[in-house]
Amino acid sequence: MLIAGFPAGPWGTNCYVAATGAGTECVVIDPGKDSAEGVAQVVREHRLKPVAVLVTHGHVDHMWCVAPVAGTYDATAWIHPDDRHLLTDPMAGMSRETTQMLLGGSYEWAEPDDVRELSDSQELELAGLRFVVDHTPGHTEGSVTFRTPYQEQGPATGSGPDVSEVMFSGDLLFAGSIGRTDLPGGDHPTMLRSLREKVLTLPDDIVVLPGHGEQTSVGRERATNPYLLDLIDGGPAGRVTRGL
């Protein structure tokens, strides 16, 4: 399995390209601002053909280049219906700081030609890979994660042979933190429920590839992440969170 990831744009958002191997079809996850050239470089280097763009949530730092990337490769874009409106109106989900950053620019937003909607527990067969969709609201109403089986060691993840799955967690879960919930559509109790029901129920060996920062694992976060420890211990989990 081939997974290439790189941070892009002013928010350092991780964009990922996943495929069964070189010279095959591939899936692009979360192409944010300034990620299109990075995607093109990975595609050229590994002789790939993008057939799908998966969006963990509709915040602009994760979907800025969804339409350009999908249009360039004639790929299908997948997003949860609760966040679909953000593809054409990303300002509706922005923080005041992000809005100020973009003031003065001339931006136009449009859906890709082919957009399909995701649902909880849905299974997708794309580019020879199987993805399980978990609806994980809290950071946004339509936040999702994508889990795919991982069958062999690869340099992009640095994972060992005992990894059962890789999870693209978006802004649900980071190394040592979780996504912020103070933006439009965010809700902290809902975020905690998503973490409790969709993360703490998973095996420890799952590698987590987050929307920002370094990779981690479910086991590492279960043992060290203060938010998950609060949930396990029944605490309030009321700390500072991350995200756009």
| Confidence at residue 238, expressed as pLDDT on a 0 to 100 scale | 45
Q: What is the pLDDT of residues 11-62, one digit of tens each?
A: 999 999 999 999 999 999 999 999 999 999 999 999 999 999 999 999 999 9
Cα–Cα distance, 176 to 26 (Å, whole number): 30
Q: For residues 96 and 40, which has the higher predicted lDDT (pLDDT)?
A: 40
Question: 111-125 as b/e, with b when 16 or more CB fall inside 10 Å?
Answer: ebeebeebeeebebe
Q: pLDDT grade, residue 101 (50/70/90)?
A: low
Residue scoring higher pLDDT (32 or 94): 32
Least confident of 3-7, 91-95, 113-117, 211-215: 91-95
- Segment 140-189, tens digit of pLDDT: 999 999 999 997 544 444 444 589 999 999 999 999 999 999 998 999 99
Structural domains in the chain plus CATH codes: 2-91+109-233 (3.60.15.10)
| pLDDT for position 160 | 47
Burial label for 152, CB within 10 Å (0-12, 13-18, 19+), is exposed
Q: What's the pTM?
A: 0.89
pLDDT at 191 over 50: yes
How is the beta sheet containing 49-54 ordered, strand by strand?
Answer: 2-8, 13-19, 25-29, 49-54, 76-79, 115-117
Tens of pLDDT, residue by residue over 193-243, are 999 999 999 999 999 999 999 999 999 999 999 999 999 887 554 444 555
